[in-house]
């Protein structure tokens, strides 16, 4: 008797809705009719492309420019004699210019992801 109540509850909650669902006849979906070609309107007149003549520059207007606007060309700067400096530098690191704070932050995040879960890495080491 004690096992009968959960069995009846299971029957009512799971099997009865499934049986009722199967009893209904699903309606077959009917696709709408799609025409092969869409008719184009025939009452439109054809479009004529009219080319515009090229615009000619305006030559009959003259404008006087104030003398304060006109600047004379600056004289060329003479450079001193070239100096020979020997090229002595330390070897560059392969990380030079590639390491940014965001890259360090991403590395820290990925190192935590790759490690075992924190539950398996206790903070205090137990003596063995």
Global pTM reads 0.23
CB burial string 35-56: b at 16+ within 10 A, e below: eeeeeeeeeeeeeeeeeeeeee
In a domain, 44, yes or no: no
| Domain total of the chain | 1
In a domain, 69, yes or no: no
pLDDT above 80 for 125: no
In a domain, 91, yes or no: no
pLDDT above 80 for 74: no
Cα separation, 56 vs 52, whole angstroms: 12
pLDDT digits (tens, 9 = 90+) for 16-42: 788 877 766 667 778 888 878 776 767
Residue 54 binned pLDDT confidence (cut-offs 50, 70, 90): low
pLDDT digits (tens, 9 = 90+) for 87-116: 777 777 777 778 888 988 998 889 888 888
In a domain, 62, yes or no: no
In a domain, 11, yes or no: yes
In a domain, 12, yes or no: yes
In a domain, 21, yes or no: yes
Listed in sequence order, the residues at least 6 apart from 115 whose beta carbon sits closer than 8 Å to its beta carbon are: 121
CB 121 within 8 A of CB 115: yes
Give the number of other CB atoms < 10 A from CB of residue 2.
5
- Which residues constitute the domain of residue 11? 1-25
């Amino acid at each position: 008797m004690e096992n009968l109540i959960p069995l009846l509850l299971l029957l009512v909650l799971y099997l009865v809705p499934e049986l009722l669902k199967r009893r209904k006849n699903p309606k077959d979906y009917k696709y709408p009719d799609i025409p092969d070609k869409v008719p184009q309107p025939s009452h439109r007149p054809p479009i004529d492309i009219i080319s515009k003549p090229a615009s000619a520059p305006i030559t009959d207007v003259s404008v006087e420019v104030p003398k304060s606007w006109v600047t004379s060309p600056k004289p060329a700067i003479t450079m001193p004699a070239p100096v020979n400096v020997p090229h002595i530098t330390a070897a560059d690191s392969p990380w030079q210019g590639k390491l940014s704070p965001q890259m360090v932050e991403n590395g820290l995040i990925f190192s935590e992801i790759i490690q075992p879960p924190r539950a398996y890495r206790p903070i205090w080491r137990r003596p063995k």
